[in-house]
Amino acid sequence: MSVVSPDLLRQFDLTGPRYTSYPTADRFVEAFAADDYVQALKQRRSGVAAMSLPLSLYVHIPFCESLCYYCACNKIITKHHERAEPYLRYLSREVDLHTAHVGLGQVVSQLHLGGGSPTFLSDDELRALMAMLRRSFSLAPGGEYSIEVDPRTVDEGRLAVLAELGFDRLSFGVQDFDPAVQKAVHRVQPAEQVFALVETARRQGFESINVDLIYGLPRQTPESFERTLAQVTALRPDRVALYAYAHLPERFKPQRRIVTAELPSASARTSMLARSLALFDAAGYVYVGMDHFALPSDALAIAKRQGRLHRNFQGYSTQPDCDLIALGVSAIGRVGAAYSQNAKTLAEYYDHLDQGRLPVVRGLALSRDDLVRRAVIMALMCQGALQFESIELAYLLDFRTYFAPELEALDVLAGQGLLSLNDSGMEVTAKGWFFVRAVAMVFDRYLQADRNRARFSKII
- Please provide residue 158's backbone torsions phi and psi, each rounded to the nearest 5 degrees: -70, -40
- Phi-psi category of residue 237: left, alpha or beta, with phi > 0 → left and psi -120 to 50 → alpha: beta
Question: CA 437, CA 459: separation in Å to the nearest integer?
Answer: 6
Cα-based angle 340, 344, 345 (whole degrees, multiple of 5): 145
The radius of gyration of the chain's CA atoms, rounded to the nearest angstrom, is: 22
Q: Is the peptide bond before 54 cis (omega within 30 degrees of 0)?
A: no
Q: Any alpha helices (H) in 118-265, and if so which ranges? A: 123-136, 156-164, 179-184, 191-203, 222-235
Nearest Cα to Cα of residue 290 among 99, 459, 46, 73: 459
Q: What share of the chain is helix, strand, coil (3-state, %, to 5)?
A: 45, 20, 35
Q: What is the pLDDT of residue 317?
A: 84
pLDDT 10s per residue in the chain (460 long)?
A: 445 677 777 777 666 788 888 999 999 999 999 999 999 999 888 875 455 577 999 999 999 999 999 998 889 999 999 999 999 999 999 999 999 999 999 999 999 999 999 999 999 999 999 999 999 999 999 899 999 999 999 999 999 999 999 999 999 999 999 999 999 999 999 999 999 999 999 999 999 999 999 999 999 999 999 999 999 999 999 999 999 998 989 989 999 999 999 999 988 998 999 899 999 999 999 999 878 999 999 999 999 998 888 888 878 888 777 899 999 999 999 999 999 999 999 999 999 999 999 999 999 999 999 999 999 999 999 889 999 999 999 999 999 999 999 999 999 999 989 999 999 999 999 888 888 888 999 999 998 776 555 456 555 5
Exposure of 439 in the CB half-sphere (CA atoms within 13 A): 33
Burial pattern 166-191, b for ≥16 Cβ within 10 A else e, equals ebbbbbbbbbbbbeebbebbebebeb
Exposed/middle/buried for residue 309 (C-beta within 10 Å: 0-12, 13-18, 19+): buried
Q: Going from the N-terminus, what domains does the chain have, and what CATH number goes with each?
A: 1-23+369-460 (1.10.10.920), 26-325 (3.80.30.20)
Please compute, for residue 440, the number of CA atoms within 13 A of its CA located in the half-sphere on the CB side. Answer: 32
Report the DSSP pairing between strands 360-365 and 106-115: unpaired
The Cα–Cα gap between 458 and 450 comes to: 17
pLDDT confidence of residue 289: 82
Q: What is the pLDDT of residue 460?
A: 56
Alpha carbon of residue 282 to chain centroid: 26
Give the per-residue pLDDT at 176: 97
Q: What is the pLDDT of residue 14?
A: 67
CA of 165: how far to CAs of 126, 138, 156, 200, in Å? 8, 14, 14, 16
Residue 252, amino acid: F
How far, in Å, CA of 434 to CA of 274, rounded?
11
Q: Which of 384, 428, 431 is nearest to 281 (CA)?
A: 431
Distance between CA 342 and CA 254 in Å, rounded?
Answer: 22
